[in-house]
Amino acid sequence: MHRFMELKGKVILITGANTGIGRVTAEKLAQRGARVILACRSKEKTQPVVDAIKASGGDAEFVPLDLADLDSVRAAAELVLQKDEPLHVLINNAGLAGLRGQTKQGFELIFGTNHLGHFLLTELLLPRLRNSAPARIVNVSSGSHYQAKGIDFGALKERTKTVTSMAEYEVSKLANVLFTKELARGRAGEGVTSYALHPGMVASDAWREIPWPVRPIMKLFMITNEEGAETTLHCAASDEAGKEDGLFYDKKKVREPNKLAHDEALAKELWDKSVEWTRASPVVV
């Protein structure tokens, strides 16, 4: 077990914290004294988690966030920035798999949710993270990113092409790793370190689109949400990870990512396109 930094007085925002890995991450960080902001798309699903954290003596708050709608991302960031408090850790945990479609602004659904929404959220919250340094950005990626063969930028502005949306998921998770690397190349700024990780194969709600009886059988071979949250907690709060920047983690250890993750030109192209695609009406706070 690695040593954790002192979390009393720390403010940590976690996306998709109403269930699965994100929920456990929020609960564990709150237990250790952090104030946690749960940025999620459903108040109905999130309020019971906020209430449970508060009932155990923790400090938690719900902020509405739909990552598939860039206006909602701007509104969520604005709400956070209006608070007169620091932001020490941003955990981009929410993720979508197994569905097809387009986001509100017309981007491929899985990429738009898993990468583009988080890109804009991070960009808008970066000034607050910098002012709160030392600060961290944790991007929950996946081992699936190893399967990605590259990024077809044209496809990212269209409806999901494949039937299972697995190929799109792999690209979105490679984007999480490229984004992390690019943040660490000086984009995040002084005192802000970035991390990407694979949580393991976790028996969370992520498999909701897999039909019965395959789903319960698959879940028998997976780790629990508690175990799945460990690598996120390591990146977000361990003293050891605090000394590292721009790396990929699996089972709380640094692991070599897909070799495409080292492609600086690809990372820059993804960054530039993400800026262009999220720039439409920048929020002013």
Ligand X SMILES: NC(=O)c1ccc[n+]([C@@H]2O[C@H](COP(=O)([O-])OP(=O)(O)OC[C@H]3O[C@@H](n4cnc5c(N)ncnc54)[C@H](OP(=O)(O)O)[C@@H]3O)[C@@H](O)[C@H]2O)c1
Query: Which residues are at the interface with ligand X (CB under 6 A)?
Result: 15-16, 18-22, 40-42, 45, 65-68, 93-97, 113, 140, 142, 198-199, 201-202, 204-206
Q: Is the CB of 138 or the CB of 270 nearer to ligand X?
A: 138
From 146, 169, 195, 249, the catalytic residue = 169
User: CA-CA distance, 260 to 151, in Å (whole number)?
Assistant: 10
Provide, rounded to whole angstroms, the least separation between the CB of residue 261 and ligand X.
15
Backbone angles phi, psi at 250, to 5 degrees: -145, 135
Provide, rounded to whole angstroms, the least separation between the CB of residue 275 and ligand X.
20
The three-state secondary structure class of 26 is: helix
Provide, rounded to whole angstroms, the least separation between the CB of residue 53 and ligand X.
15
Q: For 202-227, give one letter per residue: b (16+ CB within 10 A) or e.
A: bbbebbeeeeeeeeeeeeeebbebeb
Q: Is the CB of 74 or the CB of 198 nearer to ligand X?
A: 198
Instruction: Write out the H or E segment, with its range, that includes residue 140.
Output: strand 135-140
Q: Is the CB of 172 or the CB of 193 nearer to ligand X?
A: 172
User: Could you give the C-alpha distances from 53 to 9, 240, 280, in angstroms and in order?
Assistant: 16, 27, 37
> Helices 264-278 and 166-182 meet at what angle, rounded to 10?
100
The three-state secondary structure class of 257 is: coil
Give the list of residues 6+ apart from residue 154 with CB closer than 8 angstroms, or none: none
Asked about 195 being catalytic, the answer comes back as no
Q: Is the CB of 65 or the CB of 80 nearer to ligand X?
A: 65
Tell me if 122 sits within 8 A of 70, measured CB to CB: no
Provide, rounded to whole angstroms, the least separation between the CB of residue 113 and ligand X.
5
Nearest one of 196, 167, 164, 163 to 181, comparing CA atoms: 196
Rounded to whole angstroms, the maximal C-alpha distance in the chain is: 50
Provide, rounded to whole angstroms, the least separation between the CB of residue 103 and ligand X.
8
Q: Is the CB of 49 or the CB of 241 nearer to ligand X?
A: 49
Provide, rounded to whole angstroms, the least separation between the CB of residue 6 and ligand X.
26
Q: Is the CB of 113 or the CB of 122 nearer to ligand X?
A: 113
- Report which residue type is found at 236: A
Alpha helices in 213-263 (DSSP H): 214-220, 225-228, 230-237, 239-242
User: CA-CA distance, 62 to 144, in Å (whole number)?
Assistant: 30
Q: Give the number of other CB atoms < 10 A from CB of residue 91.
A: 29
Q: Known catalytic residues? A: 169
